[in-house]
Amino acid sequence: MRSVSTRLRLGLLAGSTALTAFVSVGTATAAAGPVSLNGSWAPFSRCPVDAPAMLAADGQTDTALCVSSHSASGSIKLGNSVVPTGASDLQLGVVTHPDGSSTLVSPSDGALVADSAQLPGGLIGLMCPSDVPVVTGVCEQLTDNSLNRVTATIESVNSPSDFTLLAGATTGKPIVTLPVRIHLQNPFLGDKCYIGSASDPILLRPQNLTAPAPGTESFDADGTADPNGALGRINLIGANQGDSSYAVPGASGCGLNLLNWAVNLKTALPSPSGKNSVTLNSASTYVATLNDPASAAPGEGKALSDAWHSAVRP
């Protein structure tokens, strides 16, 4: 049996050179929420292995694989404001096709899941001071830290596109297009205050700013390390990623829409491309699939799903 350093690396990297040619969107049906997986499967806790598009992969023409990318921290600049980001977890199912196209499948809870972070300066920093009476009235009430605190969370909207595996192994090339919005939460802003939306998202196109450390490994179906295992994983570890090409739309839904303009005025939104930036610190990307997909034909997708489920910890 070929090892992961030959079969997986050659097969995936050769196929990925054309992944940007065409991208279609699959529908995920995996169970909501992450699970805990054994061994080499651990980074793929949300891989949508039970989505119809993944299960339909036959291993001869179409091949299913899991992709995940994790970053411990980072920041995103939106106009005049810099929002820290917590740990982020990007996971996708990818089905490659013989014409060089691929189908991207998002988990049921979205491709990107990120921890919330506190906005520095809170609501005061976001829209105070102001010479507008209604905003001044809000600012004067911000004597309590709980009223001033603003929680910011990056959320997925729609589905990613333009995934290129080779870009994850080098620097200076966009890896994937991620449509996101920023959810701002505060007693005065309410629960429906967003920068970006499903109809007008922020389109992040992260690329490696520093080169990752590459590696490969083989493992058994249940995630146990095995140099002769049926599955393989590519590891691209520790790269700093960033993007400064995206535009940012204005805020919406803030304080029953009464405070949208105050947020936009202080933060200089909408903000055109070149005025914004995102940084993800020490991102690690992983790709897993069968080392020899054809050996599981015509049920490669089903074999990948069975292996993933066998690694789920009680």
pLDDT digits (tens, 9 = 90+) for 282-304: 999 999 999 999 999 999 999 99
Cα–Cα distance between 103 and 22 in angstroms, integer?
8
Q: What pLDDT is stored for residue 31 in this prediction?
A: 39
Q: What pLDDT is stored for residue 81 in this prediction?
A: 86
State the sign of the Cα–Cα–Cα–Cα dihedral 297, 299, 304, 306: negative
273 burial class (0-12, 13-18, 19+ CB within 10 angstroms)?
A: exposed
Q: What pLDDT is stored for residue 33 in this prediction?
A: 58
Cα–Cα distance between 72 and 117 in angstroms, integer?
12
Q: What pLDDT is stored for residue 4 in this prediction?
A: 46
- In 3D space, the residue among 150, 279, 261, 134 whose CA is nearest the CA of residue 206 turns out to be 279
Which segments within 23-85 are labelled E, that is strand? 23-26, 63-71, 73-78, 81-85
Q: What pLDDT is stored for residue 266 in this prediction?
A: 86
Q: Which amino acid is at 115?
A: D
pLDDT band at 146; cut points 50, 70, 90: confident
Cα–Cα distance between 22 and 31 in angstroms, integer?
28
Q: What pLDDT is stored for residue 71 in this prediction?
A: 95
List Cα–Cα distances, 255 to 58, 157, 186, 193, 260, in angstroms.
51, 22, 9, 7, 7
Summarised one tens digit per residue, pLDDT across range 149-161 is: 999 999 999 889 9
Summarised one tens digit per residue, pLDDT across range 188-228 is: 999 999 999 999 999 999 999 999 999 999 999 999 999 99
Please give the mean pLDDT across all residues of the chain.
87
Summarised one tens digit per residue, pLDDT across range 243-261 is: 999 999 999 999 988 899 8
Backbone dihedral region for residue 211 (phi beyond 0: left; psi -120 to 50: alpha; all else: beta): beta
- Model's pTM, two decimal places? 0.85
pLDDT band at 170; cut points 50, 70, 90: very high
Q: Which amino acid is at 192?
A: K
Summarised one tens digit per residue, pLDDT across range 54-91 is: 999 999 999 999 999 999 999 999 998 888 888 999 99
Summarised one tens digit per residue, pLDDT across range 99-142 is: 888 899 999 999 999 999 888 888 888 888 777 788 888 888 88
Q: What pLDDT is stored for residue 18 in this prediction?
A: 30
How far is C-alpha 228 from the geometric centre of its chain's CA atoms? Answer: 31
Residue 1 pLDDT exceeds 50: no
Q: What pLDDT is stored for residue 24 in this prediction?
A: 34
Q: What pLDDT is stored for residue 29 in this prediction?
A: 36
Q: What pLDDT is stored for residue 17 in this prediction?
A: 30
Number of CB atoms found within 10 A of residue 294's CB: 15
Number of CB atoms found within 10 A of residue 271's CB: 22
Number of CB atoms found within 10 A of residue 186's CB: 24
Average pLDDT over residues 174-195: 94
Give the residues across from 132 on adjacent strands: none
